[in-house]
């Protein structure tokens, strides 16, 4: 495995668990994984049971946690050094993983930030997502009733977006009906990243929600809602930078 120079030691790259949004497709991350590997990291993207109406948040968390366990078991890094990244709807699942296992960092990327007891279905009105999307469209002189797919894919290369059709899963509504189960946010360093061109979760919305719900500021990365598909190099560089800025829990204990 690739190694990176650490402070006074030879350091292995960080292990990333990549949790996708609605549809649960590991494929969403396929352009980011090689960029992280090129920087000396390990990365595994997880397929969630998005098409299973019997699967709720517990099932999503169990699948993602198992993937994290396998990732850590197969690596050279210290226990607790993994980074969990949740994109969009993955913001419901990623914190559940971080609450179950020691991790170095939790990253929310254009993500839903739930409150305890709030359902995913309630989140949209609670944060004012539709109004924020419409306000951004008006400010950019775009139609407010545009096809939502355009808000997802407007900056994704057409050939990449077309290739995704064969990997598409239907998204069950079951996880959106369940109250988010944690009583508090997990005690894990958390960072929030917003695509500066996100039309679906506009950056202004993400900044407000992150401040109100987590007391955190938002870092911006190039690209829209699906920036792992549209700007994988820039996203990998941003994630690499977050790792460099964040001390591992293992290092803190030693």
C-alpha torsion 109→90→156→194, nearest 10: -20
Side-chain half-sphere of 19: how many Cα atoms within 13 Å?
Answer: 35
Give me the number of domains the chain comprises: 1
Would you call 73 helix, strand, or coil by DSSP?
helix
Query: How much is the pLDDT for 21?
Result: 96
Most confident of 10-24, 158-172, 217-231: 217-231
Rounded to an integer, what distance in angstroms lies between the CA atom of residue 49 and that of residue 214? 28
Whether residue 101 lies inside any domain: the answer is yes
* Total Cβ atoms within 10 A of residue 61: 21
Contact partners, residue 55, CB within 8 Å, separation at least 6: 48, 49, 172, 174, 175
The answer to whether residue 138 sits within a structural domain is yes
Return the pLDDT at 156. Answer: 95
Flag whether the pTM goes above 0.85. Answer: yes
pLDDT of residue 77: 53
Distance of CA 146 to the CA centre of its chain: 25
pLDDT-derived band at 146, boundaries 50, 70, 90 = low
Q: Is residue 236 part of a domain?
A: yes
- Residue 12: pLDDT band (50, 70, 90) is low
The distance between the two most distant Cα atoms of the chain, rounded to a whole number of Å, is: 56
Q: How confident is the model at residue 150 (pLDDT cuts 50, 70, 90)?
A: confident
- For the chain, give the mean pLDDT: 90
Q: Is the pLDDT assigned to residue 9 strictly greater than 70? A: no
What span, in angstroms and rounded, lies between the C-alpha atoms of 34 and 73?
20
State the pLDDT at residue 152.
Answer: 86
**Alpha carbon of 197 to those of 90, 110, 194, 202, 226: distances in Å?**
19, 11, 8, 7, 10
Task: Confirm whether 207 is domain-assigned.
Answer: yes
Quick: pLDDT tens for 129-140: 999 999 999 999
Query: Do 173 and 180 contact (CB within 8 A), yes or no?
Result: no
Q: Which domain holds residue 112?
A: 3-249
The pLDDT, as a whole number, for residue 79 is 62
Contact between residue 132 and residue 205 where contact means Cβ atoms under 8 Å apart: yes
> Among 30-34, 208-212, 215-219, 248-252, where is mean pLDDT lowest?
248-252
Task: Categorise residue 116: left if φ over 0, alpha if ψ from -120 to 50, beta otherwise.
Answer: beta
Residue 106 near residue 39, CB atoms below 8 Å: no
Task: Report yes or no on 33 lying in a domain.
Answer: yes
**Domain CATH number, residue 227:** 3.40.50.1820
- Whether 169 has a pLDDT exceeding 80, the answer reads no
Q: From CA 85, how far away is CA 238, in angstroms rounded?
A: 12
Asked, for residue 193, whether it belongs to a domain, the answer is yes
CA distance 191 to 217: 8
Distance between CA atoms of 125 and 105, rounded to whole angstroms? 29
Q: What is the mean pLDDT of residues 155-177?
A: 89
Average pLDDT (237-254) is 72
Residue 246 pLDDT greater than 90, yes or no? no
Residue 254 within any structural domain of the chain: no
DSSP SS3 for 56: coil
> What is residue 6's predicted lDDT score, i.e. its pLDDT?
39
- Planar angle of CA 187, 190, 193, nearest 5 degrees: 160
Instruction: For residue range 179-197, list pLDDT tens digits in order.
Output: 999 999 999 999 999 999 9
pLDDT > 70 in the chain, percent? 90
Per the listing, tokens 């030693």 go with 254
Model pLDDT for residues 64-101, shown as the tens digit of each residue = 999 999 998 876 555 678 999 999 999 999 999 999 99
């Amino acid at each position: 495995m690739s190694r990176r120079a650490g402070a006074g030691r030879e350091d292995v790259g960080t292990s990333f668990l990549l949790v996708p949004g609605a549809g649960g497709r590991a494929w969403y991350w396929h352009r980011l994984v090689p960029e992280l590997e090129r920087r000396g990291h390990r990365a595994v993207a997880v397929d969630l049971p998005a098409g299973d109406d019997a699967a709720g948040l517990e099932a999503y968390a169990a699948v993602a946690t198992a993937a994290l366990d396998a990732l850590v078991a197969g690596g050279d890094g210290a226990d607790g050094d993994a980074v969990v990244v949740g994109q969009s709807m993955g913001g419901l699942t990623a914190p559940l993983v971080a609450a179950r296992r020691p991790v170095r960092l939790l990253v929310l990327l254009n993500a839903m930030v739930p409150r305890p007891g709030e359902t995913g279905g309630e989140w949209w009105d609670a944060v004012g997502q539709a109004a924020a999307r419409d306000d951004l469209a008006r400010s950019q002189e775009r139609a407010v009733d545009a096809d939502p797919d355009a808000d997802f894919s407007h900056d994704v290369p057409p050939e990449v977006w077309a290739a995704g059709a064969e990997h598409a899963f239907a998204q069950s509504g079951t996880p959106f009906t369940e109250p988010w189960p944690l009583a508090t946010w997990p005690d894990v360093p958390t960072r929030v990243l917003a695509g500066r061109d996100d039309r679906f979760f506009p950056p202004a919305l993400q900044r407000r929600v992150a401040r109100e719900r987590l007391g955190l500021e938002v870092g911006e990365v190039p690209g829209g809602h699906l920036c792992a598909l549209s700007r994988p190099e820039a996203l990998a560089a941003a994630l690499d930078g977050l790792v460099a800025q964040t001390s591992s829990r293992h290092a803190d204990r030693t």
